[in-house]
Amino acid sequence: MKIYISPMAGYTDYSYRKILKKFNPDLLFTEMVSAHLLNENDEATEKELLKCDDKENEGVQVFGSDKNELIKAFLKLENKGFKNLNLNMGCPQTKIIKNGAGSALLPQTDFVDSLLSELKSKLSDKTKLSIKIRIGYRDFSSPELYIDLANKYNLDFICIHGRTREQLYNGKADWDIVSELSNRPRKIDFIGNGDLFEAKDIVSLIKKSNLDGIMLSRGIIGNPWLISQIRELLNLGEITTFPDFDTVKNAVLEHISYLEENKGKIVAALEINKYLQPYFKRFETEDLKNNLKEIIIERDIDKKIKDIEKL
């Protein structure tokens, strides 16, 4: 069972991927990249989003709506040495949708068919191409069409998130639909995604479906140990990894060191904040909550580190 890490804007940056790589996911993605900005040689895209030490095992997901721009972007990424490239057809965010990208591509089956055809003809056979979709958008409710297209072009995998675009991240991912889709005839890998937070629940979903892998998203934020727990439950029948407080605290301090090294002290002091509560939520007490609130508003990274060490 393959375990992939989803591209997540603002989260799967270079620093957090260094933490995640210690747990050996089968594939992890950078933050998603705009085809337009990549083609414009945008500095943040080039220097931050695409910063990567392992282009063989770290993929890039691209979003856009113009076919020529998308093709140019995919070829540029291939020339940079990336071996795993993914087309974003699942992002539900309004700012992406209004430009015709992300989930807005779902109803455009002819466009996607033509795009995949050209990409497969122009990319090297060694470059792995995949797509990530949702189960529906507006009047489109035929995700099976994309399983057929993925088969037609022999993609590396199709990843299906069990929500429609309209749901955003509300309600629950419909794993009945994901499971049903996973049983369709195919020759390519089928990866399931959506609401994958706890190892026991994840393994239960795996056993009910015909999956080749899963793609972890929000559930992996502040919880890289989830990767180990899933594998243990699948292979051993029980979970043996239960990180204690000091283990989590040390991971946070290591994460901060990567952020400092990559983005400097000022940015590190701000960016670690969104990870702190997810990291420590398993130990949540009123005292810890109050301490974390104080740590989050602290802007001096050295003081912040000392306060974390005292927890």
With the CA atoms of 60, 61, 67 and 68 taken in that order, what torsion angle do they form, in degrees rounded to the nearest 10? -20
Residues contributing to the annotated binding site: 7-9, 61, 132, 161, 217-218
Q: How many Cα atoms are found within 13 Å in the side-chain-facing hemisphere of 97?
A: 14
- CA pair distance 309, 311, nearest whole angstrom: 6
Annotate 10-23 with b (16+ C-beta within 10 A) or e (fewer).
ebbbbbbbbbbbeb
For residue 193, the Cα-to-chain-centroid distance in whole angstroms is 10
Q: Give the three-state DSSP class for 22.
A: coil
Phi, psi torsion values for 30, nearest 5 degrees: -70, 175
Active-site residue list: 91
How many angstroms separate the Cα of 57 from the Cα of each of 21, 52, 84, 216?
Answer: 10, 10, 7, 16
Q: What is the total residue count of the chain?
A: 311
Residue type, 80: K
Residues contributing to the annotated binding site for FMN: 7-9, 61, 132, 161, 217-218
DSSP state at residue 87: E
Write out the E strands in the chain: 2-5, 27-29, 33-34, 58-63, 84-89, 128-136, 157-164, 189-193, 213-216
